[in-house]
Amino acid sequence: MKPAPRVDQGDEHLKVTAPKGYAAGIPAVVESVRQLVDHLGVAKAARTMLRINQPDGFDCPGCAWPEDNLNGHRTSRFEFCENGAKAIAEEATDRRITADFFAEHSIASLAERSDYWLGQQGRLTEPMYRPAGATHYEPISWEAAFARIGGALRALSSPDRAVFYTSGRTSNEAAFSYQLFVRALGTNNLPDCSNMCHESSGVALTETIGIGKGTVTIEDIHDAGLLVIIGQNPGTNHPRMLSALETAKRRGAKVVSINPLPEAGLMQFRNPQTVRGLARRGTALSDLHLPVAVGADLALFQLVNARLAASGSVDRAFVDASCDGFDELTTHLAGLDHDALLAATGLTAGDVDAFVELVAGHERIVACWAMGLTQHRQAVATIREVANTLLLRGAIGKRGAGLCPVRGHSNVQGDRTMGIYERPSPAFLDALADRFGFEPPRAHGFDTVEAIAAMAAGDVDVFVAMGGNFVSAAPDTEATAAAMERCALTVQVSTKLNRSHVRCGTEALILPCLGRTERDSRGPEQRFVTVEDSMGVVHATRGRNDPASPHLRSEVDIVAGIAAAALDASVVDWTDWGRDYAAIRDHIAAVVPGFEDFNRRVVEPGGFALPNGPRDSRTFATATGRARLTVNTFEPIKVPPGRLLLQTVRSHDQYNTTIYGLDDRYRGIHDGRRVVFVNADDITALGHADGDVVDVVSEWRDGSERRAERFRIVSYPTPRGCCAAYFPEANVLVPLDSVAEGSRTPTSKAIVVRLERRG
């Protein structure tokens, strides 16, 4: 094992090389093994790797892509990828943070460190407490920590003065327990990372097809005739998806990628798990790449839909039988200014023709998307328009076709299914009331952005986070940190140290929990938890490694500890809650539709699929019982002269706010992160040169500005007028009130900026 870095490395060694045209292959295999061995040593690395995504092992915490399941068999013994290996190395590391570390480093000095340095220090090992006004964290017992939280929650003048955040790695059992406790306390203040992630997908799909989830299985990807991948970088963020795309290509599928950037994983894939991949031949992935301008997908899909309607390429039988709104849609589309739409996309007429021809020529179409569609002001309208395309083609509810929002965190979809939601449905609350005999609160709670505003206004006393890194993940980093610091008590249930521990409330607690890879036992009993992948398959996950410290507790036990201290013995007996996770699953089975007979079905190999009306039977739980074709109006983002539209992306060496390393291999960035990718012609037109160091300054409607200092300009093939930088360094640029219409997701991918030379 390599020791944790002592010195915080800046960008002094930053090096830029040409971007790569392909993903994975031998470097990825070497990289996975190197990361694991650096953190775990050889023997533990080997043992851990053998259990990733195996029936008796643990679910890879890397992403929510399902296990591949070709002809009913797992495609390979090792269903893992380079970035899964990094996620595991990060969690299963042998590095440790003990009480001595916190005695040595003041909270203020830790706040000066980079996200990378904080994360690299190792696993948290015991509960830590910052008393009011103290400069350092100090050890505290679990019982005293729970008593402190219970006291603070009991003292609230209203339960709505507490906020309970969730990140997406939390298991179904923990998430269900957490929301039950929060609602028994009396609030729906349950914001989650989904608010910043796929909320726009959930809103758009609920409106159009009556369910806020995708409608495909992994087999549908394999059997698709046309795969359209929009605003997603699977080579980095969902590498296992590339194997499924490779299978589809072998079976004759065409792939279209719609992305301002020519992401390596979308161009060519060298599967390290096949001889072909190891021999460096690889599979060419995209048959057509459309370098759309940032934020212009709505214009593109309107053009496509107008052409489908005008050329009679509509599945009228399906539309007539199952959809509302056809006439309104076609009239609207025919009346649009098609030249203006085309100009907005930045594409050529030939690009659009080629795409229309593919869409019109295929019936089995799958559309996949991620953050490139969800984090724009018009994200909901854009996703509705993508849904229009598939509905017009009848490409839903049949083999090889459907809508596929590709989720991020490995259980973010399951957490929502379990009721982590600030706007729960009346049906869900009724079911809770029936099962537990209490009246849950009905008023909607705060989403992420509303929670920050309330914290900033002094309306929140207690903030609890079940995982995640609220301060670095949310927009307007300084404003969010200041909002956090206004809380009287902040509580972070975490595996690793991050910024939300060091920009904390007056009083603060760090509660260290077990991760996915670790054995979860209470007494002699070994427990397992469950998760739901991006395609609605629920299955068990069991950690086998020794816990990072004997003091760690499971997320479920931590919820039960807090609840027992905060609530009287009403609703359930919290002191006994969680001893047996099967009992929690019985409650879930009674409350959440689709989980009937949960305990029996979840131990079957591969788990079970949740029901999905559009996918299973072309039924749509909308008000009319039919799918809805929607009318959307494209409002281009106004970019004044001399300004660019900035999008924020993940590098190949990070997991959201967790920075694994300082390289972005596929994009040719080494040993640094403060870079801004700009088109060569824009660099010249703006009077800069490749390699110049600039401040990135965002400009907002109210005249305010925000500044991210010292970014190196990197000449890159992005469309004219667009640029890109890394999240979370660029989060300072997005004000809190810049959110998507309808979903309130921060607009992390559409920021008007100027590049200012440093004096």
Ligand X SMILES: Nc1nc2c(c(=O)[nH]1)N[C@H]1C(S)=C(S)[C@@H](COP(=O)(O)OP(=O)(O)OC[C@H]3O[C@@H](n4cnc5c(=O)[nH]c(N)nc54)[C@H](O)[C@@H]3O)O[C@H]1N2
Query: What letter would DSSP give residue 549?
Result: S
Q: Is there binding between residue 490 and ligand X (CB under 6 A)?
A: no
DSSP secondary structure, 324-371, as one string: E-HHHHHHHHHTS-HHHHHHHHT--HHHHHHHHHHHHH-SSEEEEE-H
Q: Is there binding between residue 494 and ligand X (CB under 6 A)?
A: yes
Q: Is there binding between residue 495 and ligand X (CB under 6 A)?
A: yes
Of Mo ion, ligand X, none, which one does residue 698 interact with (CB within 5 to 8 Å by kind)? Answer: none
- 243 neighbors 75 (Cβ within 8 angstroms): yes
Q: Is there binding between residue 469 and ligand X (CB under 6 A)?
A: yes
For Mo ion, which is the closer residue by CB, 411 or 612? 411
CB of 193 to Mo ion, least distance (A): 6
Pick the binder of ligand X from 650, 665, 712, 744 (CB under 6 A). 650
User: How many chain residues are in contact with ligand X, going by CB under 6 A?
Assistant: 61
Of Mo ion, ligand X, none, which one does residue 258 interact with (CB within 5 to 8 Å by kind)? Answer: ligand X
CB of 86 to ligand X, least distance (A): 7
- Chain mean position to CA 387: 21
For ligand X, which is the closer residue by CB, 223 or 653? 653
Of ligand X, Mo ion, none, which one does residue 534 interact with (CB within 5 to 8 Å by kind)? Answer: none
Cβ neighbours of residue 476 closer than 8 Å, sequence gap 6 or more: 452, 706, 731, 732, 734, 735, 736
CB of 89 to Mo ion, least distance (A): 20
- 389 neighbors 360 (Cβ within 8 angstroms): no
Piece of 9-17, 387-395, 468-476, 580-588 that binds ligand X (CB under 6 A): 468-476
Q: Is there binding between residue 649 and ligand X (CB under 6 A)?
A: yes
Cis peptide before 728 (omega within 30 of 0): yes
* Contact pattern from residue 656 through residue 695 relative to ligand X, giving x for each residue in contact according to CB under 6 A and a dash for the rest: xxx-------------------------------------
Of Mo ion, ligand X, none, which one does residue 561 interact with (CB within 5 to 8 Å by kind)? Answer: none
The residue behind tokens 């013994």 is 77
Report the alpha-carbon distance of residue 189 to residue 654 in Å, rounded. Answer: 29
The helix-helix angle for 581-591 and 172-185 (nearest 10°) equals 70
Count CA atoms within 13 Å of residue 581 on its CB side. Answer: 26
Pick the binder of ligand X from 370, 391, 713, 755 (CB under 6 A). 370
CB of 508 to ligand X, least distance (A): 14
3-state secondary structure of 33: helix
Piece of 164-172, 177-185, 537-545, 577-585 that binds ligand X (CB under 6 A): 164-172
Residues in region 708-727 near ligand X by CB under 6 A: 727
Q: Is there binding between residue 515 and ligand X (CB under 6 A)?
A: yes
- 302 neighbors 385 (Cβ within 8 angstroms): yes
Pick the binder of ligand X from 214, 295, 397, 543 (CB under 6 A). 295
Piece of 149-157, 508-516, 611-619, 706-714 that binds ligand X (CB under 6 A): 508-516
Pick the binder of ligand X from 193, 255, 560, 646 (CB under 6 A). 193
3-state secondary structure of 712: strand
Residues in region 740-759 near ligand X by CB under 6 A: 748-749
Report the alpha-carbon distance of residue 625 to residue 324 in Å, rounded. Answer: 9
Nearest residue to Mo ion, scored by beta-carbon proximity: 408
With CA atoms as reference, report the closest residue to 381 among 627, 626, 628, 630.
630
Q: Is there binding between residue 297 and ligand X (CB under 6 A)?
A: yes
- 460 neighbors 716 (Cβ within 8 angstroms): no
With CA atoms as reference, report the closest residue to 530 among 547, 542, 512.
542
Neighbours of 3 (CB within 10 A): 9
Report the alpha-carbon distance of residue 404 to residue 232 in Å, rounded. Answer: 11
With CA atoms as reference, report the closest residue to 572 among 188, 162, 176, 187.
176
For ligand X, which is the closer residue by CB, 473 or 602? 473
Q: Is there binding between residue 63 and ligand X (CB under 6 A)?
A: yes
Q: How far is CA 701 from CA 27, 456, 638, in A?
A: 45, 21, 10
With CA atoms as reference, report the closest residue to 19 among 278, 286, 235, 241.
235
Piece of 288-296, 349-357, 621-629, 686-694 that binds ligand X (CB under 6 A): 288-296
Piece of 191-199, 301-309, 623-631, 708-716 that binds ligand X (CB under 6 A): 191-199
Kindly list the residues in this chain that would bind Mo ion in the complex (CB under 5 A): 197, 408
Q: Is there binding between residue 529 and ligand X (CB under 6 A)?
A: no
For ligand X, which is the closer residue by CB, 324 or 532? 532
Q: What is the CA radius of gyration of the chain?
A: 25
For ligand X, which is the closer residue by CB, 403 or 432? 403
CB of 437 to ligand X, least distance (A): 29
The residue behind tokens 């061995």 is 37
Q: How far is CA 457 from CA 188, 484, 716, 733, in A?
A: 19, 11, 41, 21
The helix-helix angle for 581-591 and 426-436 (nearest 10°) equals 130
Q: Is there binding between residue 169 and ligand X (CB under 6 A)?
A: yes
Q: Is there binding between residue 408 and ligand X (CB under 6 A)?
A: yes
Site for ligand X, rule CB under 6 A: 62-63, 83, 167-169, 193, 196-197, 230-233, 236-238, 258-261, 263, 292, 294-295, 297, 370-372, 375-376, 408-409, 466-470, 473, 493-496, 498, 513, 515-516, 555, 647-650, 654-658, 727, 730-731, 748-749
